[in-house]
Amino acid sequence: MVKQNPTIDESSSQSRLEQLERQAYQLRILNEAIRELTLLEDQEEILEKFLLIILGTVGTSRGFAVSMQNYGRTSIFESRGIAASEAQILRECGPQIYGVYFNHLDVLEEVLPKQVRLVTVNEPPQGQDKEVAWPADTRVLVQWTLSSDCYGFVGIGPKITSNDYDTHETDFLLSMTEVLMDCLKMAGSSREVRQLNEDLLQKNMQLNNALSHAQKAQSDLDRQVFHFKALSEMARELSGVFDKKKLLDGFLLMAQGAMSARCGFILLFDVQENRLIISRRGDKAKALDQLDQTRVKQLVLSFYPSPACFSLPDFKVQPLQTSHLAGQALDLPLDMGAVFSLDENYFGLMGFCSKITDEEFSTDEEELLTSLTRNFLLSLENVLSFEIIQKLNLDLGRRNYELSKTIEELRETRDRVNVLQKAGNRISSLIKNELTRLERVNAVDFILIFSLTLVLSLTYNLSSPGGTSPIPKTWTFTSAPEIEADWAALKHQNNAAVFVDARPNEFYSQERIADAVSLPLNLFDFVYLMRFANMDPEKELIVYGRNISRRYDEKVAHELSLRGHKNVRILAGGLNEWKKLNMPVEP
């Protein structure tokens, strides 16, 4: 049995205990380093903290740590206790370090994670390691590779105690380097996550903005659809209305509904009929009958600088605000309104107040009111056109009735003339027979025949509605002044007068003064309505047409004067005198 030396056992146990204590210390440092470095996200702070931990733990005052990217052209460098010149050289030699130690990354498709190796321990770099200007007192150099785009070195100088680094210390340095790589990877991941969060926030902001724009576009679209629907329904409802008062009532009802207003009114001035048409709805509009119409009219006219503005598109519909009523002494129930005009004969204003929601009228509702009012003016124009057409139809019907009656009378007269002609032929035959029989006519027979003819003629005239009066009508009124043919010719050449042919149509068709207008007396009313009703009363009219028994020109000139024409003249000498001057005739 071999008896062991007690002194040697105690020394071995003591060394083992110190080794275990140092390993426990390094593990505690390693744990604290993991806890502290994982909290950092900035690579410079990680390298700085890492370098301080390993220098203090291994007992040296000099060291460096460098992290490189982009073929060594980008690097982060931290150092302690190294000369500034050496640190600057090492900071700038990143591409050289990459060329010596990491150029294999260019050909590798996939890099193994976390590659760590000791380049040198307890001696300066030798061989190819000398190609890089490492600090002269570098004693431990560790190469690490995290990925093809993240790699670097850790180097430390001699220990303060001048002892060599043992295996436990180099293992600790390799473990710390792995912790460094994990923390750099985590920091990179944190940066990516943070960048992703920022990108997501930006995307969310863009989505929110896009959503806001979409909601606004949807709101605008809904508003436009509502406006179009209101305009369409109003156009359809008002298209069948042909009375101004009913048109105002219908429009007010629909506009008040579109505006959600409790009260509304429309005042329409009809200048031609000199009246004010009022349509109102709501309690506040009941007192409109007591309004001073003159003041209201002055208020509306103040929106139009000149009469020509009534028909201009920009002046047809103008917004009316409560501020316009200041100083007008008018109590109009109005929160929002409009002044409108169709022309100088039809204009007015409308107003609405007291929304059902107790809110103020919006800008959109003001635009809607403008569109509705323009649509209302179109309907009002249609109503006025219908009234004009209706009046023309009634007048035309009356004229047609009168013309039919005249034609019937002419037909009856023609029948009577035929009967009288037959009677005259018979009497003439009797007279000829008597004359033949008596071979001569004495004075008594002539007087009897003349008397009989005179009685028959008077009987015909008195019984015929279209007969000739024994006393010419021209004797009962003042004849129009005459104009000499040469003066008339001068006016004809200068187109300064209208020449009126008063003879019956059959004479007019045979021969007439060039450009003369036919106005026969028997069709005077009808032709006048068609050709002269709208003529300027001041226009000079030269009338011609007479024969031995009829003075058509005087009668037609008299009728024209009765219609208000102030410058009617009779052509002296008529058509014969005209032709003597070689003036143009037709056809």
Answer yes or no: is pLDDT of 514 > 50: yes
pLDDT tens digits, 214-246: 998 888 888 778 878 877 888 788 878 888 889
**Cα–Cα dist 538/565, whole Å:** 6
Q: Give the residue from 172, 168, 173 showing the smallest Cα distance to 16.
A: 168
**Helix pair 167-238, 6-37: axis angle to 10 deg:** 20
Rg (alpha carbons) of the chain, rounded to whole number: 60
311: its two tokens: 């028909």
Per DSSP, the residues of 266-294 read EEEEETTTTEEEEEEESGGGGGGGGS-HH
pLDDT tens digits, 467-479: 556 666 666 777 8
Share above pLDDT 90 across residues of the chain, in percent, rounded to a whole number:
23
Please list the alpha-helical segments (H only) found in 239-270: 244-259
Helix, strand, coil percentages for the chain (3-state, nearest 5): 60, 15, 25
Give the list of residues 6+ apart from residue 541 with CB closer than 8 angstroms, or none. Answer: 497, 498, 500, 557, 560, 565, 567, 568, 569
Distances (CA, A) of 563 to 164, 400, 532, 560: 140, 20, 10, 5
What is the model's pLDDT at position 82? Answer: 92
Answer yes or no: is pLDDT of 108 > 70: no
What φ, ψ does residue 575 adopt, rounded to 5°?
-65, -35
The verdict on pTM exceeding 0.85 is no
Contact of 216 with 236, CB cutoff 8 Å = no
The residue written with tokens 């005042």 in the block is: 267
pLDDT tens digits, 408-466: 888 888 888 888 888 878 888 887 887 776 665 567 767 877 787 777 777 766 666 55
* Burial class (CB within 10 angstroms; exposed 0-12, middle 13-18, buried 19+) of 475: exposed
Distances (CA, A) of 373 to 11, 174, 275, 316, 541: 113, 88, 21, 9, 46
The half-sphere exposure of 16 on its side-chain side, counting CA atoms within 13 A, is: 6
**Cα–Cα dist 380/370, whole Å:** 15
What φ, ψ does residue 449 adopt, rounded to 5°?
-65, -45
Distances (CA, A) of 245 to 292, 352, 532, 545: 20, 18, 33, 51
**Cα–Cα dist 52/174, whole Å:** 15
pLDDT tens digits, 526-583: 888 888 888 888 888 999 988 777 788 888 898 888 888 888 999 888 888 888 888 8
